[in-house]
Amino acid sequence: MIPEFEVTILGNTSSIPVHGRHHTAQVVRFGQDFLLLDCGEAMQLQARAFKIRVSKINTIFISHLHGDHYLGLVGLLSSYHLAKRTSPLTLFGPQGLDEIITTHFRWSNTKLSYPLTFVQTHDDGLNLLLDTPRYQVYSFPLKHRLPTTGFLIKEKHGLRSMIKEKLQQDNLSFAAIQSLRKGIDYKDENGKKYKVNAYTHPLPPLRSYAYCSDTIYNPDLKPYLENVDLLYHESTFMEDNRERAAVTFHSTAKQAAEIAKISGVKKLLLGHFSSRYTDLELMLGEAKSVFPSSILSEEGQTYAI
């Protein structure tokens, strides 16, 4: 059975929450696992509005220490404590995040009811952060005004499905079935060989999701993003503010589309919109002129990967 792999957008605006848009936060679901990417203000309210059970989140990834990407974090961690959470929580983020969090709880005289583990991220290349039986999470460097990482979630192959007719026909042993499901050819005690391709169904294509929070236009991202199924890339500005984008280390929608095009991604999800834009359709048009498979991220929408 193929596990569900999807991302729900809780916030898609940049520095100021306006026009009904909220600060950056996304929940990625892979099967029964829930991962939070960034945690801007109003994350909890948005999660309630869109029926996301935050109690299921066991892993949080913070891209960088600009407030619109993490200022909802203390509130979320506090709510977990007030709800008497006991299950462990792992927090991945840049240097300084652990100091911010522990300082707050020290001065509020709070001893959390659950184990909280900090793992520091680094912006020095592709780094494996989390390795589970069905997926891996990597960080990769973005170019912004302070240390920033993107996140790449890649599916791993699970066990293969057996061809029932062949299974019944040849009366395979338990050991043979276990080996074949793992993708390993099997040879029995009599020397008879059982080939994986003859007894199991082909594996489905592996899926992937890449998240680029804040970054200047950077073609060097291509090796990290190559052929991903869905790319979320910030598109703070339109082309008439291209110089402003460069000065603030952000990207335009068209630049995000150029990154998607050179990286060969299947679909581009635009987000992190500047407060100066109320109507985003012109921004989408600029992106689609370069990469037709571009869409605007919408709060409350879930995108299958």
Which residues are known catalytic residues? Answer: 68
CA distances (Å), 160 to each of 23, 146, 180, 244, in order?
41, 44, 7, 51
Question: Smallest Cα–Cα separation from 153: which of 229, 261, 87, 40?
Answer: 229
Q: How far apart are the first and last CA of the chain?
A: 15
DSSP 130-147: EE-SSEEEEEEEE-SSS-
CA distances from 30 to 36, 37, 95, 252, 305 (A): 11, 13, 27, 30, 10
- Which tokens sit at 284? 């989408």
